[in-house]
Amino acid sequence: MTLNKPYFFATKGYGDGSNAPGRCTGCEFGGDSGTEPYVVAHHQLLAHAEAVSLYRKKYQKFQGGKIGTTLIGTWFTPLNQTSSLDKAAAERAFDFTVGWFLDPLVYGDYPKTMKEIIGDRLPRFTPQESELVEGSLDFLGLDYYFTKYATYTTTPQENPNVLTDPGAASFVYYPPGFRITLNYIKEAYKNPLTYITEHGVSDYGNLPIENALADNGRIHCHCSHLSCLKCAIEDGYNVAGYFAWSLMDNYEFVEGYTLRFGMNWVNFPNPADRKEKDSGKWFSKFIAREIDHVNLHVSSFII
């Protein structure tokens, strides 16, 4: 995997400044939230494509293996299912989150909606760059956590911002969206070989240990989404693996030790002190019972 969630680096690092390098309109370190995120994303795509091209020319034919990248897999469903405005907002929100990167990687150009809305603020691929980026995936990594409800909102005419350009407000969450997301990608993006590279749910980091170990919500999250994944596979989606985030509690990029995603509890002041959560026990039993019946690699990992 060349890059992990380039959407977050562009929007959080240069859109609202909440992640490094902390640039945005009005941020302490300066920036322009209406242009810099798109420039950053553009160069991430080009960097990925260059890496893939080099790998394929010099290494792949001798060493085998596959090269790809990992994107956010958020789906958006209309808050009001009968509202044409909300339906259009959901489509725009997907294009500005997933299609922003997946369209170039599959088709060599940005989604039509982005080009129409952003105009000159969106960089353009030269014909050579478009050819380089198009098809630069042996596989797609997808970090899926939730689906959001989307509703129409107006786009400010002054001080454009990558976060308001889609003209859609969103609210968490809708579990069946996992299957819908995969089926949409199957139909719209040529059913790429896909690994679910992250899926999970967090708890607060300061919960009493007895509460942290009894993580039934995490069991429900993985169980329900694995059921939807099974349905997507039966629908014909080309999924090769599912990686639960994560094996154990760990340091989260911006949140530090304030959140816990693990199936094993870790005493952060003394990391050698670890205890298996109820979710870890459930996941172990699930794998032992089911892995022989599905053509799918199910695992957990930590970076």
Q: What is the pLDDT of residues 279-289, one digit of tens each?
A: 999 999 998 88
- 216-234 vs 278-290: helix crossing angle, rounded to 10: 30
Asked whether residue 249 is assigned to any structural domain, the reply reads yes
Cα separation, 143 vs 243, in Å, equals 9
Q: Is residue 96 part of a domain?
A: no
Kindly report, residue by residue over 258-273, the tens digit of the pLDDT: 999 999 999 999 999 9
Active site residue 116: no
Residue 62: pLDDT band with limits 50, 70, 90: confident
Of 160, 138, 133, the closest CA to residue 44 belongs to: 133
Residue 168 included in any domain: no
Give domain status of residue 258, yes or no.
Answer: yes
Q: Which amino acid is at 161?
A: N
Mean of pLDDT over the chain = 92
For residue 291, name the pLDDT band (cuts at 50, 70, 90).
low
Residues 212 and 131: their CA atoms lie apart, in Å, by 49
At 187, is the pLDDT very low, low, confident or very high (cuts 50, 70, 90)? very high
What residues contact residue 262 under an 8 Å CB cut-off, 6+ apart? Answer: 246, 247, 248, 249, 250, 277, 302
**Residue 89: helix, strand or coil by DSSP?**
helix
Q: Count the neighbouring beta carbons within 10 Å of the beta carbon of residue 154.
A: 7
Residue 225 has pLDDT above 60, yes or no: yes
Domain range spanning residue 287?
6-73+105-144+176-300
Distance CA 287, CA 247 (A): 14
Backbone Cα Rg of the chain: 20
The answer to whether the predicted template modeling score (pTM) of the entire model surpasses 0.85 is yes
Q: How many domains does the chain have?
A: 1
- d(C-alpha 114, C-alpha 95), whole Å: 7
Q: Specify the CATH number for the domain of residue 279.
A: 3.20.20.80
Q: Which of 28, 158, 198, 276 is catalytic?
A: 198
pLDDT tens digit sequence for 89-147 = 999 999 999 999 999 999 999 999 999 999 999 999 999 999 999 999 999 999 999 99
Segment (H or E) for 182: helix 177-188
**Percentage above 90 pLDDT, the chain:** 83
User: Is residue 13, in this structure, part of any structural domain at all?
Assistant: yes
pLDDT at residue 163, rounded to an integer: 87
